[in-house]
Amino acid sequence: MAVPSDELVVVPEPADAPRRRRGLAIALIVVAAVIMLFTALGTWVKRQALDTDNWVSASSEMLEDPTVRTALSEYLVNELYRAVDVKAQLAEQLPDQFQGLAGPLAGALREPAARAVDQLLGTSQAQAVWAEVNRTAHTTLTRILEDDTREGVSTAGGEVTLDVRVLVEQLGQELGLPQAALDRIPATAGQVTVIRSDQLDAAQTAVALVKSLSVILFLVVVALFVAAVVVADGWRRTALRDVGIALVIVGLILAVVQRVVGNYIEESVVQQPANRPSAHAVWFIGTELLRSIARNTIAVGILTIVVAVLIGPGRHVTRLRRAVAPAVVARPLALWGGAAVVLMLVLLWGPLQILETWYGLLIGAAAFAVAVEAFRRQCREDLETAPAPDVGLGAPNDAVSPV
């Protein structure tokens, strides 16, 4: 009868287990990259389109662009001519023998009027009005999109508009139109519809998803990248390098999306060719944050690849680590102090906007600390496994006989 053994039976790992772990790590990285792509787009929408201060800042920058100002000037002139019978007003001020010139004069005044309003829009007063109407419209828009109903804000049967009627009135004053005519300008003149009530449900749903999922999805992406490195036992340095490559690819895709969508809007959506330069300028300014996110993602990816290389098995990098290993291993406090100084300089420099958020700062600091510790441990391992120096006149160590 066989006697049970108390020895622990070790089940050998399947031969294809490393390959499976490698495949699982790659799958996690791919899923994380896809989620990160949509998370980055959602972050851009949240911070650019839903943040009033950012919107007002971007709209003010748009007004400083000559092509945008020209397009806005032409729009305001058209609105004035649509709201006021300029020909009739001129006819009232002309002598009877020159009544026939009212029509040609009204037409001839369009171009000088556009130049005049262009100059008007360059003044600090007009820019203050522009900023204020944008702030008012955007505040109303975000309250409605967030279903934040309060006195004066309705989510039913209405529209959110950008009201530049006051600029139309100022233009009329510049042209010398009588106040009685300006008082008859309808309330709808100079109003640009931002959103209609029939678009509200879809917009509110989208905003709720963006606001609730942006941080959660970012944390999910980080967790998936960490899981990919952890499960890639034996391939962790390679997995870390793959994470960096994935980040670079996501950043490049974001940059391409920004460019392709902008070209599509400019060529297909904007019907009048004369308005395409201003549409290009508006898109370029409005997507500055998206381009910043793309640059940040690429920068983080490159840094991740650099860390993977610094702790990797390459011959040159191993030689570098062995050169600095004595100082790194013997003076850990100096190493961590220097790392803390570097981190503080990065935060003061502010090249990565993700570090401006609390969760981005915590994750960034943790990732930086892990990278420093991984480098320190690798230096110690390289120091312990370094080959002993040759002894004697070039003879190998095992060929030297004791005296």
Domain match, 110 and 224 both = no
Mark which of 144, 178, 203 sits at the end of a domain: 203
Answer yes or no: is 105 within a domain. yes
Domain match, 221 and 347 both = yes
Most distant pair of Cα atoms in the chain: their distance: 133
Question: Helix, strand, coil: what percent of the chain each, to 5?
Answer: 75, 5, 20
Q: What is the distance between the alpha carbons of residues 217 and 36, in angstroms, rounded to a whole number?
A: 8
CB 249 within 8 A of CB 264: no
pLDDT over 60 at 238, yes or no: yes
Mark which of 171, 203, 235 sits at the end of a domain: 203
Domain match, 158 and 219 both = no
Predicted pLDDT of residue 3: 52
Answer yes or no: is 403 within a domain. no
Predicted pLDDT of residue 265: 77
CB 97 within 8 A of CB 304: no
Answer yes or no: is 1 within a domain. no
The tokens 């020895």 sit on which residue?
A: 7
pLDDT over 90 at 302, yes or no: yes
At 4, the amino acid letter reads P
Query: Average pLDDT in the 117-134 region?
Result: 81
Domain match, 190 and 178 both = yes
Query: Average pLDDT in the 83-107 region?
Result: 62
Domain match, 229 and 368 both = yes
Domain match, 41 and 55 both = no
* pLDDT tens sequence across 171-202: 677 666 667 666 667 666 666 665 565 555 66
pTM: 0.72
Domain match, 193 and 279 both = no
The parent domain of residue 346 ranges over: 26-45+211-384
Q: What is the distance between the alpha carbons of residues 322 and 395, in angstroms, rounded to a whole number?
A: 23
CB 62 within 8 A of CB 68: yes
Answer yes or no: is 13 within a domain. no
CB 250 within 8 A of CB 37: yes
Answer yes or no: is 4 within a domain. no
Asked which of 114-128, 148-162, 204-218, 222-236 is least confident by mean pLDDT, the reply is 148-162
Mark which of 144, 168, 203 sits at the end of a domain: 203
Domain match, 32 and 127 both = no
- Binned at pLDDT 50, 70 and 90, residue 204 comes out as low
Domain match, 52 and 197 both = yes
Q: What is the mean pLDDT of the chain?
A: 77
Answer yes or no: is 91 within a domain. yes
Higher pLDDT, 99 or 274: 274
65 Cβ neighbours under 8 A, 6+ residues apart: 278, 281, 285
Domain match, 273 and 174 both = no
Asked which of 200-209, 261-270, 367-376 is least confident by mean pLDDT, the reply is 200-209
Number of domains present in the structure of the chain: 2
Q: What is the distance between the alpha carbons of residues 320 and 347, in angstroms, rounded to a whole number?
A: 28
Domain match, 242 and 367 both = yes
Answer yes or no: is 3 within a domain. no
Domain match, 122 and 221 both = no
Answer yes or no: is 273 within a domain. yes
